[in-house]
Amino acid sequence: MAESSTGTTQEQSPSGLPIKPIPGNYGIPILSPIYDRLHYYYFQGHMGYFKSHAAKNNSTVVRMNMAPGMFISRNPRVVAVLDAKSFRVLFDPSKVEKKDVLIGTYMPSLSLYSGLRPLPNLDTTEQLHSSLKSFSFHLLASRKSHIIPTFHEAYSSLLDSVEAKIASGPVEFNSLNQSSAFDFTCNAFLGAVPSEVIGPSASNKAAIWLLLQLHPLASRLTKFIPWPIEDLLLHCVPLPPCLARSDYEALEKFFSKAGESLLEDAANKFGLSHHVALHNLIFMTSFNAYGGFRVFMPILLKWLAYAGEVLHRRLAQEIRSAVDSSNGTITLNALENLELTKSVVWEALRLDPPVENQFGHARTDLIIESHDTAFRVKKGEMICGYQPLAMRDEKVFTNAEEFVPDRFVGEGKKLLEYVYWSNGPETVVPTMGNKQCPGKDMVILVGRLFVAHIFLRYDTFSAVHDGMVLGLDPRMVFKSVEKASDQ
């Protein structure tokens, strides 16, 4: 306790911040969660929704309803953490339980995963979390040398298609990326290309399965469906999982065969049954990795396009001279030396993290601290972090709303501690004891590869950001590419 200037006593947190009640409220049951959902998806958008609650309550820790709300969520009430400091409570497994909260207040039907709970839905206290996370580390380590060649195969062909089509008009990136990202991810992990084995519809099958899980988060599917109808269709009841059954069966067949040796490793090295290992392998590849790259590549392209020709020329120079020094090939070593390219990838992830929200239930009664105030949270309350605001915290990042390509060069690397896209600070490594993304290093590597492939081919390019695909990833359209002058 501390005495204030008015003589009243003020309770303090262990680090000396005043403890205050969390501002905000949940409104009228049933009606307010629906009203809030409409604001989140249609009237304000995700960023506007969180910003308005923070501004109205003059606090970055605030009570609010989280979409999709009624009638699909177990409970829409959350405590939102919206600054770089309070957000970190979500990274502490001793403080938050992360059981069945991957998608938030809503849990898809387990029949989409053959009845089991995939790794990201397991809490660190569950034994299976450790075995499966170790398996994910094994997968990534054993296939590391395949990432560069398989990326080259998939994305060189994507850029060939862009060049072939661009003479006759603008070329949408996202539809090409949908199949390239799936081919790349499966080829990198399993050594098999799904569009060759299953056929050209392979990535559609994965996309339909993803949509069946993520539809409560999607919005603005098409301008032909009025929003009230779309809201009823996407956000009120789960779409029947059977809509994805035949697609999932095709994936299951493909992964059983192409993943045979990994599944043997899962049994022999990690004691996992064939059933558990197979469905988790499908999930890691098709949800975590493919789902992530579907969103991440357009985000990176968006910021590259936005930054324009001056940055393009600097990147081209850095990338080409590193590749020249390694005998004309892209190597892990060459990519490691690309200071500006690395910074650009982190800056895109800072401004636009592909997975916007993280969730967890307070394990016990807790104190959460923002920069200047502390708040009590009760055991069992749901905490919801919104990364795009936490990583635009002006108390940490100067000109936080701006894309600053060099932000993480040299001394700027100190700020990586506040880059949270992987569900943990960029300076921390994923382990069996935390819930950080095991694909963290691969994602950063793939980001650098993407930038390198573009600027080995082109001196500059232009592309426009034209709305969102499903309300989840930016729709990017190439307008022109200028081939490298030294080719």
Contacts to ligand HEM by CB under 6 A: 98, 102, 119-120, 133, 136, 140, 284, 288-289, 292-293, 296, 354-355, 358, 421-423, 435, 437-439, 442-443
Structural tokens at position 277? 């290992």
Contact 263, 278 (CB under 8 A): yes
A 10 A CB-CB count for 442 gives 20
The residues, ordered by sequence, that sit 6+ positions from 189 with a Cβ below 8 Å of its Cβ are 139, 143, 259, 262, 281, 284, 285, 289
Question: Closer to ligand HEM at the Cβ: 59 or 133?
Answer: 133
As a whole number of angstroms, the distance between CA 119 and CA 121 comes to 5
Question: Closer to ligand HEM at the Cβ: 341 or 422?
Answer: 422
The angle at the Cα of 91, spanning 89 to 96, to the nearest 5 degrees, equals 65
Question: Closer to ligand HEM at the Cβ: 182 or 481?
Answer: 182
Q: 163: buried, middle or exposed (CB in 10 Å: 19+, 13-18, 0-12)?
A: middle
- What type of residue is 258? A
DSSP 330: -
Question: Closer to ligand HEM at the Cβ: 207 or 284?
Answer: 284
Question: Closer to ligand HEM at the Cβ: 76 or 292?
Answer: 292
In degrees rounded to 5, what are phi and psi of residue 378?
Answer: -85, 150
| Cβ 278 to ligand HEM shortest distance, Å | 15
| Cβ 140 to ligand HEM shortest distance, Å | 6
Phi-psi region of 367 (alpha: psi -120 to 50; beta: other; left: phi over 0): beta
| Cβ 217 to ligand HEM shortest distance, Å | 13
Contact 390, 83 (CB under 8 A): yes
Give me Rg for the CA atoms of the chain. Answer: 23
| Cβ 226 to ligand HEM shortest distance, Å | 32
| Cβ 27 to ligand HEM shortest distance, Å | 26
72 three-state secondary structure: coil
Order the strands of the 374-377 sheet from edge to edge. Answer: 19-20, 374-377, 366-369
| Cβ 288 to ligand HEM shortest distance, Å | 3
As a whole number of angstroms, the distance between CA 361 and CA 152 comes to 41
| Cβ 465 to ligand HEM shortest distance, Å | 18
Question: Closer to ligand HEM at the Cβ: 284 or 319?
Answer: 284
| Cβ 421 to ligand HEM shortest distance, Å | 6
DSSP 385: E
Question: Closer to ligand HEM at the Cβ: 60 or 422?
Answer: 422
Alpha carbon 457 to its chain centroid, in Å, reads: 27
H/E element, 477: strand 473-483
Q: Pick the closest to residue 65 from 48, 47, 89, 49 (CA basis).
A: 49
Question: Closer to ligand HEM at the Cβ: 316 or 362?
Answer: 362
Question: Closer to ligand HEM at the Cβ: 24 or 438?
Answer: 438
